[in-house]
Structure 1
Amino acid sequence: MTVSQGRLVLVTGPSGVGKDSLLDGAHAALRDRADIVFPRRVVTRAPGLGGEDYIAVSEADFAAMAARGDFALHWPAHGLHYGIPASIDADLAAGRQVVVNVSRAVIDAARLKYPGLLVLAINASPDVLRKRLQARGRETADEIEERLQRAAAYRLDGPDVVQLNNDGPLAEGIAAFVGLLEKCG
């Protein structure tokens, strides 16, 4: 078990709720705060595909990194592999708040490894989610409906979970997100 002085903040929620937009906005708003860090994820996806600022690696490189212990957390999702660099352990040991975007599937493992973490569960109404998913144009109508059904079926609860509704304008969502980070840090 890893004991840390800082706090790990896991940002999670269904596709389309605006996690990347909130993270980007919070990172920009807090860029001068050395006590809050936003590490880049390692992803087995081609570089430059947008959405988030990630480190692109091949499947083979990812597997080698995982085998070496280069990740604090890692998981597969939707045909890709995602990893949070093990360097977050040094940030936590230094007392920093570490904010990362993760899959809901990795939360239980993270809770065991990082006691005292905070989960920011981002959500949005089905109508807002549908419009956002349609606007980004990555999924078919059937795939969007499947995502909406998965989002409706999954509810994350626990004493370490804070819900954040992101139905409104982006500036309001970022302000609420930053406020939670500052309050919970």
Structure 2
Amino acid sequence: MRERGRVWYLIGPSGAGKDSVMARAREQLAPGAPVLFAHRYITRPARAGGENHVELSEAEFCAREARGLFALTWRSHGLRYGIGLEVEGWLAAGFDVVVNGSRHALDTARSRFAGMRPVVVTAPVAMLADRLARRGRESAEAIALRLAAARWDSPEDALEIVNDGELDDAGRILLSALMRT
């Protein structure tokens, strides 16, 4: 094991399939590989569908944040998101940690996690719109706002994964990057 692991920070527009790409890479990961996938703490009901996350009330989220139990937090689309402090222990033990992050918290994540590698997952806008509509969590207005926010420039040092084909292919791209380090 290495002395300290690296954070792989997945970002990209809503509907790009970040959680799906992470899940597929995790399924393909060899047993014993020094890679862990962090879950997020979110002020969204677990039954809302999509990613497997830990549901917290706004009050509980704020209490945990006030006590320093998150390595990283941000707000987006009216919700609170957090990455638990447990990732620090995993990194110290030499594990790489894959995190579903936020573009809005990218600079904070860079300052928090030395050597962090951004991974941008994208898809064509028409595909994003279809995926957002099918997941059924947002109104048409909310989807339009998410699509408008999908336009941005990727960081120069990012690994880019275009998730517009077979999910196995996108998962293998991420897994290949994880295994090269």
Equivalent position of 2:144 in the other structure: 145
Equivalent position of 1:124 in the other structure: 123
Give the CA deviation at 1:45: 1.6
Deviations, residues 26-62 of structure 1 (Å, cap 9, x unaligned): 1222262341001211111223322111111111111
Whole-Å separation in 2 of the counterparts to 1:139 and 1:50: 11
Aligned residue runs from structure 1 range 57-72, under 5 A: 57-72=56-71
Aligned residue runs from structure 1 range 16-35, under 5 A: 16-30=15-29, 32-35=31-34
Structure 1 residues without counterparts, runs of 5 or longer: none
Deviations, residues 76-123 of structure 1 (Å, cap 9, x unaligned): 111111110111111111111000101111110111121211000111
Whole-Å separation in 1 of the counterparts to 2:106 and 2:60: 24
Secondary structure of 1:6's partner? coil
User: How has the CA–CA distance of structure 1 residues 61 and 31 changed in structure 2, closer, same or farther, with 3 Å as cutoff?
Assistant: farther
- Structure 2 residue identity aligned to 1:167: D
Identity %: 39
Equivalent position of 1:174 in the other structure: 171
Deviations, residues 100-157 of structure 1 (Å, cap 9, x unaligned): 10111111011112121100011111122222223223334443333222112x1121
Whole-Å separation in 2 of the counterparts to 1:56 and 1:142: 24
Whole-Å separation in 2 of the counterparts to 1:108 and 1:75: 12
- Structure 1 residue identity aligned to 2:173: A
Whole-Å separation in 1 of the counterparts to 2:147 and 2:120: 16
Whole-Å separation in 2 of the counterparts to 1:137 and 1:81: 20
Secondary structure of 1:48's partner? helix
Aligned residue runs from structure 1 range 46-85, under 5 A: 46-85=45-84
In the superposition, the TM-score normalised over structure 2's length comes to: 0.91
Give the CA deviation at 1:172: 1.6
Whole-Å separation in 2 of the counterparts to 1:46 and 1:31: 32
Structure 2 residues without counterparts, runs of 5 or longer: none
The answer to whether residue 154 in structure 2 is matched with residue 165 in structure 1 is no
Equivalent position of 2:36 in the other structure: 37
In the superposition, the TM-score normalised over structure 1's length comes to: 0.89
